[in-house]
Amino acid sequence: MAAKVRKIAFEEHYTAVGFKDYTKSFSQHIDPAVFADLAKRLEDFDEVRLREMDEAGIDYVILSQTGPGVQAEPDAAVALSRARQNNDFLASQVERHPKRYGGFAVLPMHDPKTAADELERCVRHYGFKGSLVNGHTNGRYYDDPAYDAFWERMQDLDVPMYLHPVDPYVIPHAYTGHPELVGASWGWGVETASHALRLLFGGVFDRFPRLKLILGHMGEGLPFQRWRFDSRFAVYSHGITLQRAPSEYIGSNIVITTSGVCSPHALMGAIAEMGPEAVMFSVDYPYESTATAARFIEEAPMDAQTREMVCHGNARRLFKL
């Protein structure tokens, strides 16, 4: 293995009291014994997590509530209450290990102003580094013009949002009889990439040009379609106008992590498409192996400067560490 490079990771999950009922939609498809181990890791802040970080050369992680979180809560008032409780709990854990942990806010996106207020509370009061939102909220997507109030506040706070996968609101007919396509193997990536494209083609990044949206899993496939977005949008714009070519938002407003895709070929392709400043290391703990992710990023065929940017330099800049 190549010499260890210091790392920052930020698709690293935990869970808090009262959130296990939301995770049933995920956990029901995982072998019970496997999920029991995952549950222990999600609840741990001191033993296994820190040891694995040390072994992998990960100096700092930004923690986020595992999905689907309050995005699956139908009652807006309950969502706000649970989000606030969760964020207070996370702040207490970060306070215990401030040099190792940061926090992403849980946001009740049922109401744009309420979500903006909670984001501001977490950033200003707790020093959280942004938010992680588990996709749509009960079928509502954030290109809805009502969310401009949220995006404006987020831009003013100058923190990013990590848009994390979730099940589609309506399961596509193409997945019928193939439950393996609905979740992490395929459907989550399609759902999350589609949500990001709704924001892009909906003009959110034109109205709020300093926004940063993070996509995991090597960008949910978007880096590899940049050329085609430009080519086909020029023919099939359906009257939509953008200030820039679609590809130009992917790598500037939309940045990505390597979480859950430990492929050197995919990594080098993403860097070639987006530039080394738009690609960052992450693990997707505890659902992926920290050791595997560390070995992958240390052995990928990058020059030393690019490796340092991807492993920690870009994250330090994005999160002002």
Active site residue ranges: 284
Amino acid at 63: L
State how far the alpha carbon of 47 is from the alpha carbons of 44, 254, 320, in Å. 7, 34, 27
Q: How far apart (Å, rounded) are the C-alpha atoms in residues 22 and 68?
A: 6
Q: Which amino acid is at 104?
A: F
Could you give the CA distance from residue 286 to residue 299 in angstroms, rounded to a whole number? 21
Geometric angle at alpha carbon 192, from 308 and 87, rounded to 5°: 75
Contact, 266 vs 299, CB < 8 A? no
Q: CA-to-CA distance for 171 and 295, rounded, in angstroms? A: 36
DSSP collapsed to 3 states, 138-175:
CCECCCCHHHHHHHHHHHHHCCCEEECCCCCCCCCHHH
The CA R_g of the chain, rounded to the nearest whole Å, is 19
